[in-house]
Amino acid sequence: MTVRGYLVAGLLIWLPLGITLWVLSLIIGSLDQTLRLLPHEWQPEQLFGFSIPGLGVVFAFLMLLGTGMLAANVLGQRLVDFWHGLMSRTPFVKSIYSSVKQVSDTLLSDSGQAFKKALLVRWPHQDSWTVAFQTGSPAPQVVAQMGDEEHVSVYVPTTPNPTSGYFIMVPKRDTRELAMSVDDALKYVISMGVVVPAPAADTLCGDKNQQA
């Protein structure tokens, strides 16, 4: 193997590890800032004389757990409803809060799924295809302007950052459902097509039957 080959092999080992550690450092550093919510006398620097990296992760976990336990009882639910009502009636704040709450409820709710299935859609023009995710059906007000043809609401993520993308509504006949899970499709998009999902078991069975 040449020197270049050794360098590439070393890079392939250290690059994923380095990026993972960097991301974890950012997350832990951000969560450590939640310790500032504690009274000054209770902060680690005052109690122990030095900071403890990662303690904010524990504090954030306990705070989320405590909030969830509080919201699970009747009194806590009333407090949550009061808070939601207050935020929803505050000028300027209500538009941001309501939008974020609707998105978070959709993404984190046990009763629903933000992305229903992975699709192929023609994007950005009719001669190309890209991986997208069906999010639902167009609103009735939109359907009324589309005619009788069935349409689906689709989210087209950007690569390698799938948190940004495009929301489009396309005829259902112009989509192709993929035989892969939403998680596999996300990995495929994030990796820019490098990480290819394994064929589904039913697809493999169908291919074997055809060969037989």
Helix/strand/coil (H/E/C) assignment for every residue in the chain: CCHHHHHHHHHHHHHHHHHHHHHHHHHHHHHHHHHHHCCHHHCHHHHCCCCCCCHHHHHHHHHHHHHHHHHCCHHHHHHHHHHHHHHHHCCCHHHHHHHHHHHHHHHHCCCCCCCCEEEEEECCCCCCEEEEEEEECCCHHHHCCCCCCCEEEEEEECCCCCCCEEEEEEEHHHEEECCCCHHHHHHHHHCCCCCCCCCCHHHHHHHHHHHC
pLDDT values of the chain reduced to their tens digit, one per residue, 212 residues: 788 888 888 888 898 889 888 988 888 888 888 888 888 888 888 888 887 888 888 888 888 888 888 888 888 888 888 888 888 888 888 888 887 776 666 556 555 556 789 999 999 998 999 999 998 889 889 988 988 889 999 999 988 878 788 999 999 999 999 999 888 998 899 888 888 887 765 544 444 444 54
For residue 9, is it within any domain? Answer: yes
Same domain, 88 and 121: no
Same domain, 66 and 146: no
Same domain, 53 and 89: yes
pTM of the model: 0.55
- Say what the pLDDT of residue 176 is: 95
Q: Cα separation of 138 and 153, whole Å?
A: 6
- Say what the pLDDT of residue 194 is: 85
For residue 108, is it within any domain? Answer: no
- Say what the pLDDT of residue 155 is: 92
Q: Residue 186 is which amino acid? A: L
Same domain, 144 and 76: no
For residue 165, is it within any domain? Answer: yes
Q: Cα separation of 119 and 146, whole Å?
A: 21
- Say what the pLDDT of residue 171 is: 92
Same domain, 23 and 75: yes
Range of the domain at 174: 117-197
For residue 98, is it within any domain? Answer: no
Q: Residue 132 is which amino acid? A: A
- Say what the pLDDT of residue 204 is: 45
- Say what the pLDDT of residue 153 is: 93
